[in-house]
Amino acid sequence: MLTRRMALRNSLLASGAALMGSTLAEYSAEADENLSLHGAGSTFSAPLYKKWIEAYQQDHKDVSLSYDVVGSGLGVSRFVHGAVDFGATDVLPGGFILSTVKRGVIAVPVTAGMIVLAYNIPGLGGVLNLPKDVYADIFTGHIKVWNDARIVQANKDLHLPNRDIAVVVRQDSSGTTAAFTRNLVAISPNWAATGAGDGFTIDWPTAAMLGKGNEGVAQKIKISEGSIGFVEYGFAKRLGLSMAILENDAGKFVSASEASGTAALLASERASVANPLVSVDDVTANPPGDASYPIVTLSYLLLYRKYADARKASALKDWVKWGLTTGQTFASGLGYIALPAETAAHAGRALDSLS
């Protein structure tokens, strides 16, 4: 009897151990399958990040990636407060803000793009040319009507209406706003005189309609006759909006295109290399070169240097490296500028400090 009871106990223990082992294995497998990475930030780069997530997850079904399109300002805030695994911004915030992150920060440039001035002027009869002092003064409020003498001077063959200019700007905290106003600071004494400066949110010196996100601004322009606003190139292109030809630092009028955006990025990198005291971001505020489109910006992913979960760190590093290589092939089709090979390689090396 004792022998039989011992055999039964041993059998139950063995069954329990087997069940526990099975349960733990299943739990471990489920945990691996449910590894989730969550980020938030830029609307400027959101279409590209969503494409990356979709393509990457097709071959990495054990990783679940999600991204909240909330604007660069809120994305940076969530990242600084540890509410996400990664943030996304089109303009790096001040060093003091990032220095408050105890886990450390790696800012990785992953793509670049152009900001266009899209407009809605029925019956214009051609494409609008805007000298740099003119488009700056539209946003300072110095130029208020479409048939202002300075606009007419640059567009003598167009039918400019005698109607008020309806300016459209971002209502949310935005990297697109920061990049655009950084350009205004660089090119316009009149803008500097307003005291509005540059940043994620601006106290605009002229009356303006508000749109949420690049998509919101683009939609507002599309339905509002007499309007003009700043928006990421890809959004304007997808909605079929008219885009102004802008004067660059060399005094040339340049349309937004992959070629002119790439020229601006390369010229900015060369200028930065030539002067180590100046960052690429500083130069892209008003890039040199005859062929350069005048308003370009790099876009960054913000990662922590240290993650408590080793699997999370490894998966994030793999996804971002994938974005810097295979992911760059999606840039052009969505209206972005693929990073030059050296820039992408340098960004990839920055990931080595992630742990």
Q: What is the pLDDT of residues 96-120, one digit of tens each?
A: 888 999 999 999 999 999 999 999 9
- List the alpha helices (DSSP H) in 171-294: 175-187, 189-194, 213-223, 233-238, 258-274, 280-284
Q: Are residues 251 and 155 in the same domain?
A: yes
Q: Are residues 261 and 315 in the same domain?
A: no
Q: Are residues 130 and 273 in the same domain?
A: yes
Whether 279 is in a domain gets the answer yes
269 or 48: which leads in pLDDT: 48
Q: Are residues 285 and 199 in the same domain?
A: yes
Whether 7 is in a domain gets the answer no
Which residue segment(s) compose the domain that 261 sits in?
Answer: 114-296
Whether 326 is in a domain gets the answer yes
pTM, two decimals, is 0.86
DSSP 212: S
Q: Are residues 307 and 287 in the same domain?
A: no
Whether 28 is in a domain gets the answer no
Q: Are residues 160 and 45 in the same domain?
A: no
Whether 9 is in a domain gets the answer no
- Any idea what the CATH number is for the domain that residue 80 is in? 3.40.190.10
Q: Are residues 235 and 160 in the same domain?
A: yes
Rounded Cα distance between 184 and 294, Å, is 11
Whether 13 is in a domain gets the answer no
24 or 86: which leads in pLDDT: 86
Rounded Cα distance between 258 and 72, Å, is 23
Whether 162 is in a domain gets the answer yes
Query: Does residue 199 sit in helix, strand or coil?
Result: coil
Q: Are residues 126 and 201 in the same domain?
A: yes
93 has pLDDT over 90:
no
312 or 14: which leads in pLDDT: 312
Rounded Cα distance between 205 and 139, Å, is 7
Q: Give pLDDT, residue 278.
A: 81
Query: Does residue 11 sit in helix, strand or coil?
Result: helix
Q: Are residues 302 and 218 in the same domain?
A: no
Last residue of a domain, one of 281, 296, 311: 296
DSSP 192: H
Q: Give pLDDT, residue 346.
A: 87
Last residue of a domain, one of 248, 263, 296: 296
Q: How many domains are contained in the chain? A: 2
Q: Are residues 307 and 342 in the same domain?
A: yes
Q: Are residues 286 and 339 in the same domain?
A: no
Banded model confidence at residue 10, pLDDT cuts 50, 70, 90: very low
Q: Give pLDDT, residue 28.
A: 37
**Ramachandran region, residue 82 (left: φ > 0; alpha: ψ -120 to 50; beta: rest):** left
Whether 19 is in a domain gets the answer no
Q: Give pLDDT, residue 246.
A: 98
13 has pLDDT over 50:
no
Q: Are residues 103 and 62 in the same domain?
A: yes
Query: Does residue 274 sit in helix, strand or coil?
Result: helix
Last residue of a domain, one of 296, 321, 336: 296
Instruction: Write down the mean pLDDT value for the chain.
Output: 90
Structure tokens at 192: 């500097």
